[in-house]
Amino acid sequence: MKAIVHEKYGSPDVLQLNDVEKPTPKDDEVLIKVYAASVNKYDWHFLTADIFLIRLMGGGLLKPKNTRLGADVAGRVEAVGKNVKQFQPGDEVFGDIGHGGFAEYACAPESRLALKPSNLSFEEAAAVPMAALTALQGLRDTGQIQPGQKVLINGAAGGVGTFAVQIAKWFGAEVTAVCSTRNLDQARSLGADHIIDYTKENFTQNGQQYDLIFAANGYHSLSAYKRALTPKGIYVMAGGSTAQIFQAMLMGSRMSETGGKKMGGVSAKIDQKDLAILKELLEAGKVVPVIDKCYTLNEAAEALRYLGEGHARGKVVITMEGSEDKQHNNYVGD
């Protein structure tokens, strides 16, 4: 089968479309014929090792231990291991399989998958898992979101941010989306109540305060974020610039106040219960995946290059040749 492989760390130029052996599912695994996969910063980090910790935390010190990329997938179950209970051949599934999704076939433990939302194309379903789980878990678990709260999403136009705006609205929050000028209409169409154009206004300096700030992108210092919180407000760092990520990791707990402002972060976990919640939201139309661009498998390097530029509007998707379903309704790309 065809798969995207990287034998060394580097730019998307090191990616190759190779013939590799079709995988065989272990006892607890499902073999998926992949129809679509989506690209995440997670893939970018494992490709480039731009965050050095990737090398120290099992990625491989000098070269990648796992040469395959692609966490988010949607496809059809082709075979199941003997201990698999939830799926059978023919089922349409989506999930976050960690690595190996940029390929015609992939194996994954059943615990990383759920049945695909019935109203979504494979491309739309592949756009969901990692970004939407980050938004859901960050807002609900770390952020303790409550109806009526004032919630600000920084980086509202990207993969995580487009889900965060919609999920915060579903929780009943009054949502402020922060994005650049060209994405104001998109944020409005996703339901944001207020929109701040970060090229014109710095929300940490306008005197407004929020019960919850979810930071998906960009950079502000932790003290600036803290200033923009209400007295018991919560800051949740999901991503953004390297400085933003490391400040939250190293200083977040020290800057939290007992009974007062909390400075935390989210590290998304694959969870079938949460995938089921997302499936319900998607099927009810409460949340809609936003797809910027679609690439074919042999254009995977281009897809990663585009994501790496940092201005994708919603999600970037890769479709496999032979995909029988190339339709999606929310295509915002050129």
Binding positions for ligand NAP, rule: CB under 6 A:
40-42, 130-131, 134, 154-155, 157-161, 178-180, 183, 198, 216-218, 238-240, 266-268, 307, 310-313
Residue closer to ligand NAP (CB basis): 31 or 237:
237
Q: Least separation, in Å, of the C-beta of 233 and ligand NAP? A: 19
Task: Give the pairing of strands 229-237 and 262-265.
Answer: parallel
Shortest Cβ contact with ligand NAP: which residue? 239
Residue closer to ligand NAP (CB basis): 162 or 323:
162
Residue closer to ligand NAP (CB basis): 44 or 105:
44
Q: Can you tell me the distance from the alpha carbon of 256 to that of 116, in angstroms, rounded to the nearest whole number? A: 39
Q: Can you tell me the distance from the alpha carbon of 183 to that of 197, in angstroms, rounded to the nearest whole number? A: 9
Helix (H, G, I), strand (E, B) or coil at 56: helix
Residue closer to ligand NAP (CB basis): 75 or 158:
158
Q: Least separation, in Å, of the C-beta of 124 and ligand NAP? A: 16
Task: Give the pairing of strands 229-237 and 210-215.
Answer: parallel
Residue closer to ligand NAP (CB basis): 3 or 317:
317
Helix (H, G, I), strand (E, B) or coil at 19: strand
Q: Least separation, in Å, of the C-beta of 119 and ligand NAP? A: 23
Give first-to-last CA distance, the chain, whole Å. Answer: 31
Q: Least separation, in Å, of the C-beta of 95 and ligand NAP? A: 15
Q: Least separation, in Å, of the C-beta of 94 and ligand NAP? A: 16
Q: Least separation, in Å, of the C-beta of 199 and ligand NAP? A: 8
**H-state helical runs in the chain:** 41-48, 53-54, 122-126, 129-137, 159-170, 184-189, 222-227, 242-255, 272-283, 300-308
Q: Are 156 and 178 in contact (CB under 8 A)?
A: yes
Residue closer to ligand NAP (CB basis): 218 or 252:
218
Angle at 57 between CA 247 and CA 264, to 5 degrees: 30
Residue closer to ligand NAP (CB basis): 175 or 266:
266
Q: Are 217 and 158 in contact (CB under 8 A)?
A: yes
Q: Can you tell me the distance from the alpha carbon of 325 to that of 333, in angstroms, rounded to the nearest whole number? A: 18
Q: Least separation, in Å, of the C-beta of 38 and ligand NAP? A: 9
